[in-house]
């Protein structure tokens, strides 16, 4: 049996690091070796992390566009719309996640572990502890990085007490200066170097089916929102194109200010404006709404949109 571990498309740090950790411990966890794969290109934050932890002995995930005969350990999502082609009820082997349960089915018995925590790596840490597996410094650094990334260094409302405790536990092994390191991560994530306008929208983009509506939501988490907001006209143009090209009913794009904990929500048409006025009630200026205290797509945008769109 060929086993792979993979996360969602437009992978964030958690969707890259979780498959790496699973691969590293796969024999102990599943009795089979699992190869780590990735469902897209690395973002600048993940690149920084992997470069920073140079003496890495843990293999980088290879790009995979389609699953053929492999069995799949799926992490960080259970939404069919966020998977690469070929993952289906017949090849699902295990799921480890921290999102809502999406629409996936399985024809066989599977291992499934989904917890309402801030990061897949927090769930993975608990699994490794339960199995008494040794956590090396390298593993600790990687998992700590994923938790910092997903929880915006414990600042996102998705953060739980377990995330806090486990990040602290991990850092006893990792020995990072967390404040300094997380700022470096966020600066890397904010960098627009080598990033085209359409990538700003699509680097961290998720597609959902909400009732009868096709909804796309991209976010750009940054410590320098002005560098993105000054490209406003270009971005709105690109959003208009994407909405039409992908046949979306709604397309949202949020520039998330990690430090001030606000979101600039780009609203491309009247449909988005009306919905955003109803839900987020922020100040609107030329198609951009300032949404105070909103930083999490998972907790503060997706459920609220679903509530309105799924009747």
Give me the residues that bind Mn ion (CB under 5 A), please: 14, 76, 120, 150
Contacts of 6 (CB under 8 A, 6+ apart): 19, 36, 37, 38, 39, 61, 64, 72, 73, 74, 75, 84, 87
* CB 303 to Mn ion: min, Å: 16
Strand partners, 71: 3
Residue whose CB is less far from Mn ion, 243 or 297: 297
Among candidate residues 124, 66, 116, the one with its CA nearest the CA of residue 94: 124
In the bound complex, what is the minimum distance in angstroms from residue 289's beta carbon to Mn ion? 25
Burial of 148 (0-12, 13-18, 19+ CB in 10 A): buried
Shortest Å distance, C-beta 8 to Mn ion: 9
**In angstroms, what is the minimal distance from the CB of 50 to Mn ion?**
17
Question: Please, which residue, 12 or 71, has the CB nearer to Mn ion?
Answer: 12
Nearer to Mn ion, 70 or 150 (CB): 150
Minimum distance, C-beta of residue 129 to Mn ion, in the bound complex (Å)? 19
Q: Which residue lies nearer to Mn ion by CB, 14 or 71?
A: 14
Name the residue nearer to Mn ion (CB basis): 140 or 148: 148
Distance in angstroms between the alpha carbons of the first and the last residue of the chain? 42
Phi first, then psi: what are they for 75, rounded to 5°?
A: -125, 150
State in angstroms the smallest separation of the CB of 266 from Mn ion: 23
Which residue's Cβ has the minimum distance to Mn ion? 14
Q: What is the closest distance, in whole angstroms, from the C-beta atom of residue 269 to Mn ion in the complex?
A: 30
Which of 14, 272 has the CB closer to Mn ion? 14
Nearer to Mn ion, 13 or 171 (CB): 13
* CA gap 90, 117 in Å, rounded: 28
Query: Least distance from C-beta 119 to Mn ion, angstroms?
Result: 5
Between 45 and 272, CB nearer to Mn ion: 45
What is the Cα–Cα distance from 63 to 36, expressed in whole angstroms?
A: 9
């Amino acid at each position: 049996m060929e086993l792979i571990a993979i996360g969602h498309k437009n992978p964030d740090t958690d969707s890259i690091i979780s498959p790496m950790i699973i691969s590293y411990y796969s024999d102990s966890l599943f009795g089979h070796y699992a190869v780590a794969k990735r469902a897209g290109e690395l973002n600048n934050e993940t690149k920084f992390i992997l470069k920073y932890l140079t003496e890495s002995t843990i293999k980088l995930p290879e790009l995979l566009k389609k699953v053929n005969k492999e069995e799949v350990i799926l992490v960080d999502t259970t939404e069919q719309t966020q998977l690469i082609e070929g993952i289906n009820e017949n090849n699902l082997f295990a799921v480890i996640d921290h999102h809502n349960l999406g629409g996936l089915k399985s024809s066989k018995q599977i291992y499934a572990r989904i917890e309402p925590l801030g990061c897949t790596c927090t769930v993975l840490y608990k699994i490794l502890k339960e199995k008494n597996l040794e956590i090396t410094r390298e593993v600790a650094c990687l998992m700590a990085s994923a938790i910092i990334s997903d929880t915006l260094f414990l600042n996102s409302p998705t953060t739980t007490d377990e995330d806090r405790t486990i990040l602290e536990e991990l850092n006893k092994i990792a020995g990072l200066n967390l404040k300094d390191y997380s700022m470096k991560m966020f600066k890397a994530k904010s960098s627009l170097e080598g990033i085209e306008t359409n990538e700003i929208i699509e680097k961290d983009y998720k597609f959902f089916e909400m009732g009868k509506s096709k909804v796309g939501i991209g976010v750009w988490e940054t410590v320098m929102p002005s560098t993105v907001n000054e490209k406003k006209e270009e971005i709105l143009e690109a959003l208009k194109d994407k909405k039409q090209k992908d046949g979306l009913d709604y397309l949202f794009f949020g520039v998330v200010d990690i430090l001030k904990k606000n979101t600039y929500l780009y609203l491309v048409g009247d449909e988005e404006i009306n919905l955003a006025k109803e839900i987020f009630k922020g100040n609107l200026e030329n198609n951009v709404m300032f949404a105070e205290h909103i930083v999490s797509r998972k907790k503060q945008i997706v459920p609220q949109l679903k509530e309105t769109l799924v009747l």
